[in-house]
Structure 1
């Protein structure tokens, strides 16, 4: 179904202001939902009350998670501030979602071993980094060559969730595989740099402006480059080499879990959950785990303490004493 002219305008507005592709897609999704909820009325004809009705509906009828409702609110705040130019009230009155967050799925060490052994060679290093360093999916794929610090065995993660920067541990077992991956990156780089149409790797706008030659420097290129060149819609369709598509890695992990005979619901994020839980089981301080994961709030990290407790809330079943 073709996108309306209004939604197309919003997309182009966000592209010219350098919003991330994922943010654009998410905001367009919720703005479209909002318009359809109000029988395709133009948002300029709607306001605070209609936004409150929509957000209350998401909580009361769709039973969305608090984080999902917050994303929908952010999209509508953007819509009215930047597009309609009639900012919403700071005191919106709507039913806030109270749905409990699910406990994370965690693999035991034997399951992690089986999963990593079942992953195809192309995705092996990526999955080992997600488990070995507690990286999110997109943090792994957006890793740049210069973000690896072999001397101090760490990785630098820039502008991740909540715009936080952090250092995470790097398993010494991954040093050689990473150096082999750098050889692959160098081959792509030498091929690309000879291409007269190649405009270098994508950089955030501020960096591209501050360092105009950085886009063609080897260190700024992605650690896991795509196998093909592509056009960058954010920069007049110039030729670049992006990182691999996240869906291919997600599918690879799902297939590996099936081959390994793991019957839990496994995703890329499961490896991050397992990393945190296994650190705590080994006696690592929860503040250290919080720093490794890049959590703003310690309460987010504390969810892993529930996973490692013996039974529910540490209660021993009476059946165990029979």
Structure 2
């Protein structure tokens, strides 16, 4: 982690990062919590960590809502980051904070594309971005879930894709039949690249958490290779090893932005729009809301219910006796 002008806070942030790593939280969570820790440090002007109290939390969270006018989700993320900091690193009382001003929740309705609009965007995407977007829409993936897919996630015999989602939760979704030839071709390309990497003496792909310590050869095994590998190898500065990383999220976003511009759509489109479209189109096809919840990996059905505002949908089917099927 980057250092500041306060050694005491540097130690706190290092301990925070170590605790998050030990709990196997995602790198995104680590970065977000560390960033909020640094912002909290800046707000308090390097106040010694030993002198922190619940009052400091209240002052900062109130500042975010009243002065910075952040969104409700941003304020909640800051709240959770500081809660983790106080409970697990500082070992201090966090307080109740029921009277803190809360950022106003927006009445957000997701942007949804029609099938025609999706086809128009795909027409302007080249390999491998077209296949990535087809998976975003066809399987309802988040962008990070898509680019971090590995060979082992695909079960072609069962036609099932296992997705490693937010919070380390896995879910299974059907593999779209229409892109099966493209997926098969991608697998052949990965095999060739893997053979080339092995011949060049690479050190393997980057692995999650402590997997490589437990299985030293895993990084070179085919099942752990990225489904969307980065074009070039990455040199690890500390060890000088050559490793393969996955396709970067930013590259997909940039390719998508250009495709949307060329398609001349009138809607604001991001990678997440295709996940919204996946859920909404299933609703339009009268799939049950609980089924859609499972496919999206939502822990709370209320999160999934937002898609009911996008279309005038019906229930899956009127109740029937099995005798009438």
What residue number does 1:155 align with?
161
- Aligned-pair Cα RMSD in Å: 2.4
Judge conservation of contact 2:13–2:37 (CA < 8 Å) in 1. no
Q: Structure 1 residue 183: deviation in Å?
A: 1.8
Q: Which residue of 2 aligns with 1:240?
A: 243
Shift in Å, 1:303: 0.4
Aligned counterpart in structure 1 of residue 272 of structure 2, from 266, 269, 273: 269
**1:221 corresponds to 2:221:** no
> What's the counterpart of residue 64 of structure 2?
58
Q: Distance between the aligned counterparts of 2:168 and 2:182, measured in 1?
A: 29
CA 101–208 in structure 1, closer or farther in 2 if over 3 Å, else same:
farther
* Aligned 8 A contact 1:35 1:42 in 2: no
Q: Which segment drifts farther, 26-35 or 265-274?
A: 26-35
Query: C-alpha offsets along residues 3-50 of structure 1, whole Å, 9 cap, x if unaligned?
Result: 515566556542674654322321232122212222343443322101
Q: Distance in 2 between matches of 1:175 and 1:44?
A: 58
Looking at structure 2, the residues matched to 260 and 64 of structure 1 have their Cα atoms a distance apart, in angstroms, of 33
Cα distance in 2, alignment partners of residues 244 and 135 from structure 1: 15
Superposition pairs for residues 61-140 of structure 1, below 5 Å? 61-83=67-89, 85-89=90-94, 91-93=96-98, 94-140=100-146
CA distance in 1, matches of 2:285, 2:139: 15
Report the secondary structure of 1:166's partner residue.
strand
CA contact (8 A) 2:136 2:275 kept: yes
Measured after TM superposition, the shift of residue 224 of structure 1 is: 0.3
**Contact map agreement 2:53 2:92 (CA 8 A) in 1:** no
For structure 2, which runs of at least 5 residues remain unmatched after alignment? 314-325
More displaced 10-residue stretch of structure 1: 16-25 or 123-132: 16-25
Q: Match for residue 317 of structure 2? A: none
Q: TM-score of the superposition, structure 2-length normalised?
A: 0.85
- Residue 291 of structure 1 corresponds to 294
Once the 2 structures are TM-superposed, how far is the Cα of residue 222 of structure 1 from its aligned partner?
A: 0.6
Change (3 A) 1:12 1:38: closer
Distance (Å, rounded) in 1 between the aligned partners of 2:83 and 2:65: 18
- C-alpha contact (below 8 Å) 1:106/1:270 kept by paired residues: yes
CA distance in 2, matches of 1:238, 1:70: 39
Contact 2:111 2:269 in 1 (8 A): yes
CA contact (8 A) 1:250 1:267 kept: yes
The answer to whether the 8 A contact 2:25-2:167 is kept is no
CA distance in 1, matches of 2:155, 2:220: 21
- 2:4 is aligned to 4
Residue among 203, 208, 222 paired with 2:212: 208
1:281 aligns with 2:287: no
Q: CA separation of 1:25/1:101 partners in 2, compared to 1, >3 Å: closer, same or farther?
A: farther
Q: Which runs of 5+ in 1 are unaligned?
A: 311-322
* Distance in 2 separating the partners of 1:10 and 1:101: 37
Cα 1:53–1:288, aligned 2, differ >3 Å: closer, same or farther?
same
Specify the SS of the correspondent of 2:261: helix
Tell me the CA shift for residue 101 of structure 1.
4.6
